[in-house]
Amino acid sequence: MPAISIKHIYTALLVLSVILVFTIPDVLIELIVEAAHLIIEVVVEISDVIFEAVESMLDQFVEHSFHTELHDTQIIVFYIIFSVLMIPLFFIARLMPRAYYYLTTKADKSYENYKLKTQLYWLGLSRNEKIKLGVMILGGLYITSFFIM
């Protein structure tokens, strides 16, 4: 009996995934959406619990350190949390113009490179290959129209 290797397992999982995608795509999409929703919901809930715990500890600390009333404590805690959150946002806002310039420049270069490669590929095809490519594209669009409608 031949030994089962990791490559065989990956190949079997790939074949199983392809079969599942073609046989039950709606169930897979629903499963992915529900899993993403669950993960986001859990992350938001944990973040809320952590925030409330930090806020409560900060309330107790300010109230006992400065001997303030509830309203004064809440104002002080609000401005502390506001300051702590605004400092990173300030630095992120300063980085945004540079990031925007970098990403737009990179996107322009990438698009020009894509156009050049596509044009060189098209110019390298013979007339028969161009006809075959056109027929394949039109055939694919025709078959795809059955799934869309």
What would the pLDDT profile of 51-91 be if each residue is shown by its tens digit?
Answer: 999 999 999 999 999 999 999 999 999 999 999 999 999 99
Whole-structure pTM value: 0.58
User: Which pair of tokens denotes residue 31?
Assistant: 């499963």
- Which position has the token pair 């190949």? 11
- Ordered by start, the domain boundaries in the chain are 6-111
- Which position has the token pair 């109230």? 63
User: Which pair of tokens denotes residue 76?
Assistant: 């002080």
Between CA 86 and CA 79 the distance in angstroms is 10
What would the pLDDT profile of 9-33 be if each residue is shown by its tens digit?
Answer: 999 999 999 998 889 888 999 999 9
With cut-offs at 50, 70 and 90, classify the pLDDT of residue 1.
low
- Which position has the token pair 């065989």? 8
